[in-house]
Amino acid sequence: MQHPAIEIDDLWFAYGGVRVLDKVRLALPAGEFLAVLGPNGGGKSTLLRVLLGLVKPGGGSVRVLGQEPGLAGGRIGYLPQFTSVSASFPITVLGAVSLGLVRPGFSGLGAGLVSSVTGWLNPAVRRAEREASLHALSRVGLADQAGRRLSELSGGQRQRVFIARAIVSGPELLLLDEPTASVDGRSRQELMELLAELNRDMTIVMVSHDMSTVDGCVTSIACVNRSLHHHAESRLTPEIFAEAAGVDLKATCPVELVAHGPVPHRVLLDHDHPDCCGGAHRHDGKGEGGAS
C-alpha cells in the first residue's frame, strides 16, 4: 500500500514562544496538486520549511514520502519564494539547472562542493548531468535557451528555469513557495499549465497568495491560518475565500474577498454580462455545453 505523500498529525511550531502553527493535521495522497492559501503571517511558508526539515516542529509528527523531514533527498524538489540573479553573474541557463542535481552519498554544503568538483572531473558524470539538465529544460519548454545567460531571460522564463532546477533530479514531491508572484498575467497562466502537466508525474504542494491561479488547476486546497483546513476539492467557495483571507465570512461579502478589499460590486460582472464571459463559465450547469 502506497504511503501518503505527506502525513502530519497534531503539529505545532512557535517563534519566540508564539505559535504560528497549531494542531495541524494533514494526510495528502500521492499524486495530489495541493494549493496552500492563507493570510500573510498565517504560517504557510513555515509549513513548507517544516516539510523540508529546515526547522523542527515543537511537537507532533511529520512524515514526508514515508520518512522524517529532511531525509528524502533528491526525491523532493523545492522552489523558494525569492529567486533572483545578478546581471553580472555569468551562469548559463544549463548551469543554473544543473545546480539542482543531488548526488547520492553526499550531504551538507561542504560535501556538496566536494561532490561537484569530483563530478566535474568525471566525464561520464558530466554527460549524465548535462542530459538530465537538458531533459528538465525540455520539460519546461526552454531547451533552446540552454546556452544563454540566465540574466538575459524574461521573468517568466527565469521562473521556468528555477522550476527546471527543482525537478532536474526527478522528484516525487515538488514544493513551491509563491511560484507566480513575480511574473505577469500571461506567464502566470503558462506556469500553471506547466505545473498541471508536471503533476502527472509528481505530487505538488504550492503556497500562493494568488487565488486566481487555483481554480481548475489544483486538486485540493489547504487554508492555513495557524491551523490548517483541508478541502478535498479545487473549487473556490466563499468559505474557502474567507479562510484564505483570514476573515469572518458572515461579516464579509465574497465579492469583496475576490477583489481584495471593500470595492463596489460592479468591479465583478455577472457571468451573463457580454463584457464578462457571456455565461460560458457559469458553475450552475447553464454555461456553454452545459458545463458546471
Q: Does 106 score more than 60 pLDDT?
A: no
Environment class of 169 (CB within 10 Å of its CB; exposed 0-12, middle 13-18, buried 19+): middle
Radius of gyration, CA atoms only, the chain: 21
- Is 68 within a domain? yes
List the one residue out of 218, 214, 191 whose CA is nearest residue 204.
Answer: 218
- Is 214 within a domain? yes
- Is 270 within a domain? no
- Is 79 within a domain? yes
**Cβ atoms of residues 245 and 39 within 8 Å:** yes
What pLDDT score does 111 carry? 39
Domain of 39, in residue numbers: 6-261
- Is 86 within a domain? yes
- Is 96 within a domain? yes
pLDDT-derived band at 251, boundaries 50, 70, 90: low
C-alpha to C-alpha distance for 115 and 105, rounded to whole angstroms: 9
pLDDT in tens, 283-292: 455 544 444 3
C-alpha to C-alpha distance for 147 and 233, rounded to whole angstroms: 41
pLDDT in tens, 26-58: 999 999 999 998 888 889 999 999 999 999 999
**Cβ atoms of residues 147 and 94 within 8 Å:** yes
pLDDT in tens, 117-155: 455 556 777 788 889 999 999 999 999 999 999 989 988
For residue 159 the three cell numbers come to 521562473
CATH number at residue 124: 3.40.50.300
* Structural domains in the chain (count): 1
Beta bridge partners of 78: 175
C-alpha to C-alpha distance for 45 and 136, rounded to whole angstroms: 25
- Is 30 within a domain? yes
What pLDDT score does 260 carry? 44
For residue 83 the three cell numbers come to 529567486
**Percent of the chain at pLDDT above 90?**
46
SS3 per residue for the chain: CCCCCEEEEEEEEEECCEEEEEEEEEEECCCCEEEEECCCCCCHHHHHHHHHCCCCCCEEEEEECCECCCCCHHHEEEECCCCCCCCCCCCEHHHHHHCCCCCCCCCCHHHHHHHHHHHHCCHHHHHHHHHHHHHHHHHCCCHHHCCCEHHHCCHHHHHHHHHHHHHCCCCCEEEEECCCCCCCHHHHHHHHHHHHHHCCCCEEEEECCCHHHCCCCCCEEEEEECEEEEECCCCCCHHHHHHHHCCCHHHCCHHHHHCCCCCCHHHCCCCCCCCCCCCCCCCCCCCHHHCC
- Is 227 within a domain? yes
